[in-house]
């Protein structure tokens, strides 16, 4: 496995692979890799001739009071995990290389970035879309893999990739969870044992809502209330039921929706969600029987 540090170096490597007729699957990450990242890297390797992962803690997507400085960094262990997952090249530029003096360009996606996390993290998504656009230009992938864990990010990146004619196919992968339901996240490392136990309320509440949806409940207010009631005193930033494509809040569930929650547990901000697609023309409760 090769480690590349400079955009030009990365691009040259990718040009070579493309010249050989190889497809490139790409997984952008901020490191502190866990099984969630691993599932993306393995899929990138399975579905493409070569898999590339980037490891870059992008300063521009952190707000001034966020955790950029204390974000976990463990480059050697990350490289070992990437290699194990079949990654053949790690792209790990420095912040100075990504944003040299005089840097002046941003990429931002309108509307989709205004709600949910965009409301409490101003500037976050333009940081994300800018860095992903730059990473795409350096890595020149055929496909890029993102986790549904960051559902709003997936929708925003998909739109950016389409709007900017990147030609990159965006692949969304399911959330990988700990055996007890907690969505894996690099930020889970911040949680004390007590906080981690408390944080389980998020996935528990979402799973409860999932069962309501599967039993045919369609009223968004009722579903959101059910989640809020099960957060066991955790302070929610938001609990929202939104359309999976445009992220607009819905009143009645139809088509595909995302039920998303963001909450602070101690000092740590966690996000989680479930995606649900209502069966077309459902006339009543959706049960295993009716699905057959
Ligand atoms: P990050 O390093 O947090 O920027 O995440 C890099 C990629 O991994 C993003 O596309 C995330 O959505 C994805 N990811 C993070 N956690 C998970 C998880 N638990 N399951 C699946 N994908 C994840």
* Cβ contact 227:206 at 8 Å: yes
Q: Ligand 1 centre from 19 Cα, in Å?
A: 30
- Domain with 139, as residue range(s), is 2-173
Residue 254 contacts by C-beta under 8 Å, 6 or more apart in sequence? 218, 278
With respect to residue 32, please indicate whether it lies within any of the assigned structural domains.
Answer: yes
**Residues 242, 135: one domain?**
no
Q: Which atom of ligand 1 is nearest to the CA of 176?
A: 20
Q: Ligand 1 centre from 27 Cα, in Å?
A: 9
Both ends of the chain: CA-CA distance in Å? 46
Task: Indicate the top mutation candidate among 136, 150, 187, 268 to test ligand 1's pocket, ranked by most ligand atoms within 8 A of CB.
Answer: 150
**Residues 167, 33: one domain?**
yes
Q: Which helix (H) or strand (E) holds 36?
A: helix 35-47
Last residue of a domain, one of 116, 144, 173: 173
Task: Indicate the top mutation candidate among 37, 71, 145, 160 to test ligand 1's pocket, ranked by most ligand atoms within 8 A of CB.
Answer: 37
**Residues 166, 221: one domain?**
no
**Residues 11, 48: one domain?**
yes
**Residues 49, 119: one domain?**
yes
With respect to residue 24, please indicate whether it lies within any of the assigned structural domains.
Answer: yes
CATH number for the domain that contains residue 94: 3.40.50.620
Q: Please tell me the pTM assigned to this model.
A: 0.95
**Residues 95, 190: one domain?**
no
pLDDT at 66: 96
Last residue of a domain, one of 173, 206, 227: 173
**Residues 60, 37: one domain?**
yes
With respect to residue 74, please indicate whether it lies within any of the assigned structural domains.
Answer: yes
**Going residue by residue through the chain (292 aa), what tens digit of pLDDT does each one get?**
999 999 999 999 999 999 999 999 999 999 999 999 999 999 999 999 999 999 999 999 999 999 999 999 999 999 999 999 999 999 999 999 999 999 999 999 999 999 999 999 999 999 999 999 999 999 999 999 999 999 999 999 999 999 999 999 999 999 999 999 999 999 999 999 999 999 999 999 999 999 999 999 999 999 999 999 999 999 899 999 999 999 999 999 999 999 999 999 999 999 999 999 999 864 555 554 444 3
pLDDT at 240: 98
With respect to residue 287, please indicate whether it lies within any of the assigned structural domains.
Answer: no
Whole-number Å distance between alpha carbons of 75 and 185: 17
Q: Ligand 1 centre from 37 Cα, in Å?
A: 5
For atom 18 of ligand 1, which residue has the closest CA? 36
Catalytic residue among 34, 37, 142, 286: 37
For atom 13 of ligand 1, which residue has the closest CA? 147
- Looking at the structure of the chain, the number of domains it has is 2
The residues lining ligand 1, judged by C-beta closer than 6 Å to any ligand atom, are 29-30, 36-37, 39-40, 146-147, 149-150, 173, 175-176, 183-186
Q: Which atom of ligand 1 is nearest to the CA of 177?
A: 19
Q: Is the dihedral of CA 46, 52, 58, 60 positive or negative?
A: negative
Q: Ligand 1 centre from 150 Cα, in Å?
A: 7
**Residues 206, 115: one domain?**
no
**Residues 114, 195: one domain?**
no
With respect to residue 179, please indicate whether it lies within any of the assigned structural domains.
Answer: no
Last residue of a domain, one of 113, 141, 173: 173
**Residues 13, 145: one domain?**
yes
With respect to residue 71, please indicate whether it lies within any of the assigned structural domains.
Answer: yes
With respect to residue 282, please indicate whether it lies within any of the assigned structural domains.
Answer: no
CATH number for the domain that contains residue 269: 3.30.1300.10
Q: Ligand 1 centre from 83 Cα, in Å?
A: 17
Q: Which residues pair with 257 in a beta bridge?
A: 243, 276
With respect to residue 79, please indicate whether it lies within any of the assigned structural domains.
Answer: yes
Task: Indicate the top mutation candidate among 26, 31, 39, 40 to test ligand 1's pocket, ranked by most ligand atoms within 8 A of CB.
Answer: 40
**Residues 49, 85: one domain?**
yes
**Residues 130, 215: one domain?**
no
pLDDT at 280: 84
Residue 37 annotated in active site:
yes
Q: Is the dihedral of CA 205, 261, 71, 46 positive or negative?
A: positive
């Amino acid at each position: 496995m090769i480690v590349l540090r400079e955009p030009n170096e990365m691009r040259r490597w990718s040009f070579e692979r493309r010249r050989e007729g190889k497809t490139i699957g790409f997984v952008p990450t901020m490191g502190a890799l866990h099984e969630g990242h691993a599932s993306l890297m393995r899929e990138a390797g399975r579905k493409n001739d070569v898999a590339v992962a980037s490891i870059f803690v992008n300063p521009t997507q952190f707000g001034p009071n966020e955790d950029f400085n204390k974000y976990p960094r463990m480059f050697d262990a990350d490289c070992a995990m990437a290699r194990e997952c079949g990654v053949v090249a790690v792209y790990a530029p420095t912040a100075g290389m990504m944003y040299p003096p005089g840097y002046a360009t941003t990429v931002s996606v309108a509307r989709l970035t205004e709600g949910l996390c965009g409301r409490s993290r101003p500037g976050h998504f333009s940081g994300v879309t800018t860095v992903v656009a730059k990473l795409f230009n350096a890595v020149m992938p055929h496909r890029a893999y993102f986790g549904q864990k960051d559902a709003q990010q997936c929708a925003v990146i998909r739109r950016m990739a389409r709007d900017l004619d990147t030609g990159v196919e965006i692949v969304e992968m399911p959330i990988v969870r700990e055996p007890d339901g907690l969505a894996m996240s690099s930020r889970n490392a911040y949680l004390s044992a007590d906080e981690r136990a408390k944080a389980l309320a998020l996935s528990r509440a979402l799973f409860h809502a999932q069962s309501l949806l599967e039993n045919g409940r369609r009223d968004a207010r009722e579903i959101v209330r059910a989640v809020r009631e099960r957060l066991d005193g955790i302070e929610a930033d938001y609990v929202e039921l939104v359309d999976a494509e445009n992220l607009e809040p819905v009143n009645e569930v139809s088509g595909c929706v995302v039920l998303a929650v963001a909450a602070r547990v101690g000092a740590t901000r966690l996000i989680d969600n479930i995606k649900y697609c209502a069966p077309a023309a459902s006339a009543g409760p959706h049960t295993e029987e009716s699905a057959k």
